[in-house]
Amino acid sequence: MARVLLALLSGLVFGAGLVVSQMVVPAKVLGFLDIFGAWDPSLAFVMIGAILVAAPAFALARRMERPWLGERFELPARREIDRRLLAGAVVFGIGWGLVGLCPGPALAALALAPAPALVFVAAMVAGMLLLRLMPAPRSGPSAIAPKRRAGA
């Protein structure tokens, strides 16, 4: 029960932070992304603040044997940069640049401006479902990741 309450509290704090920082306002985000036009640098301060909060938390987590409310840390097993990761990053960036929303802010925006956010969230869910239809990635070395030498 403590894990559920902590997850709820974390989500509420995260959502409130997105609202206060105006990350849920597509025009604000698009202004930040328009570096060659009417650039709005204010979201850079949001990112700097997030780094200042997250860096000590990650440093603490690296020294812990296990999380406070879990059995083990859930870390990605794969670390290489492959076509699938690059394609996802490109699609994410294009979507963010066109609409001014990404998944977290879009979910938080459902409470403020449901109509535009709902279209984005529906498209996001459709993309997730399409991903499930794609073949699983092949195991083995990536074409992009540097190859390791034997004994290295």
Q: How many CB atoms lie within 10 A of CB 84?
A: 15
Q: Which are the contacts of 64, defined by CB distance < 8 A and separation ≥ 6?
A: 73
User: How far apart are alpha carbons 105 and 107 in whole angstroms?
Assistant: 5
**Predicted TM-score (pTM) of this structure:** 0.70
pLDDT (tens, 9 = 90+) of the chain, 152 residues, equals: 888 898 899 999 988 988 998 988 999 999 999 999 989 999 999 899 999 999 999 999 889 998 888 888 888 888 889 888 898 899 889 988 888 998 889 998 888 878 888 998 998 899 889 888 888 766 655 444 444 545 54
Tokens of 140: 């083995």
Contact between 36 and 16 (Cβ < 8 Å): no
User: How far apart are alpha carbons 146 and 139 in whole angstroms?
Assistant: 15
Residue 143: predicted pLDDT: 47
Cα radius of gyration rounded to whole Å, the chain = 19
Domain ranges of the chain: 2-133
User: How far apart are alpha carbons 102 and 48 in whole angstroms?
Assistant: 18
